[in-house]
Amino acid sequence: LKESRPNLIIAQFWHIPWPNRDTMRVFPWKQELLDGMLGNDLLGFHLRYHCQNFMDTVDRGIEAKVDYERYEITRGGRATAVRPFPISIDFEDHIEIASGPGVDSEMDRWRRRLGFNDELLGIGIDRIDYTKGIPDRLVALDHLLKDHPEYRERLVFVQIGVPSRVHIRQYKQLDDEIENLIEQINWRWSTGGWQPVVLVKEHCSPTEMMALHRLADFCIVSSLHDGMNLVAKEFVSSRIDEGGVLILSEFTGAARELTDAIQVNPYAWAEIAGAIHQALTMTDEERKKRMRRMREAVAENNIFRWAGKVISALLKFDFQEQAESGMGEGASWKMHG
């Protein structure tokens, strides 16, 4: 793009976490990747931590001037600004749908499907991906039922597992591991018509997922590594009743904003089990206070604020280019992510 149109202003948003420089050392094509990415005038990540990792990778990996004070990288006489832009969702649109009759109908459908009466409900909504920490949360649930028999025949955990990359061997192995764990847990604890874990391996519509959000006593987002994780923000946005508890991995970008979630180390099953117990025994007052603050955070930092920050940064860069090169009205910009 730059070679064909030198006056084009280009931005890229990198949605997934950028690893530290030691991890990137093993990547065989890091120089080609970095060289291509530095064709951007503006490069965005969710977190300043990911910006720092990218700059460290460039500093160690290729010949370039890295300005840590201005968060700017210069290569081949061309500068790239590196900035954090934490992404979000359309909060107002989400709550309008979540409070509508379609979601009410789906809530009734879930109750019938699960044979749900007065049981406690926990949910996890993920792609079946090794970064999502699904096996660890299942092990945590198993130990919770062992250490807290009061939850037997009372707690149901619904794991939505959207199939992902099933043709790749490692993903197929993960899929098998999850199914085996659920089979073992259900064999160990099921009694009569009750089983503790329900696996739903299908794509669910937004209204179906919002219905689960509204029904759940708690939602677990236990990603091992996640740039942001919008499932956490969607759960919070769906809770128009200010109920429910979010159990959130400290290794997600969302953890920086949703500080009133119960934050956990997703590798520590005992910590997750303790968080579930805390969620289920939390007072109504505490639950509502936490959820209210998280909803305020998502409402303030919504998708429009994210887009506005990106575009504002682009326009500033564009004005600077016009002033320096006299490009005038011929200047244009493009964003990709």
Which of 227, 274, 159 lies closest to 15 in space, CA to CA?
227
pLDDT digits (tens, 9 = 90+) for 116-152: 888 899 999 999 999 999 999 999 999 999 999 999 9
CA distance 292 to 125: 22
Buried b (16+ CB within 10 A) or exposed e, 131-154: bbbbbbbbbbbbebbeebeebebe
Helix-, strand-, coil-residue percentages of the chain, each rounded to 5: 50, 20, 30
Contacts of 292 (CB under 8 A, 6+ apart): 242
Query: What's the mean per-residue pLDDT of the chain?
Result: 91
pLDDT value of residue 164: 81
Report in angstroms the alpha-carbon separations of 176 from 130, 131, 185, 201, 204.
12, 16, 14, 12, 21
pLDDT at 335: 55
pLDDT for residue 329: 41
Look at residue 40 and tell me whether its pLDDT is greater than 70.
Answer: yes
Average pLDDT over residues 244-259: 96
User: What angle (nearest 5°) sits at the alpha carbon of residue 247, between those of residues 203 and 16?
Assistant: 60
Q: How far apart are CA 266 and CA 140, in angstroms?
A: 10
Alpha-carbon torsion angle 272, 276, 279, 280, nearest 10: -170
The rounded distance, in Å, linking the Cα atoms of 268 and 221 is 13
pTM: 0.89
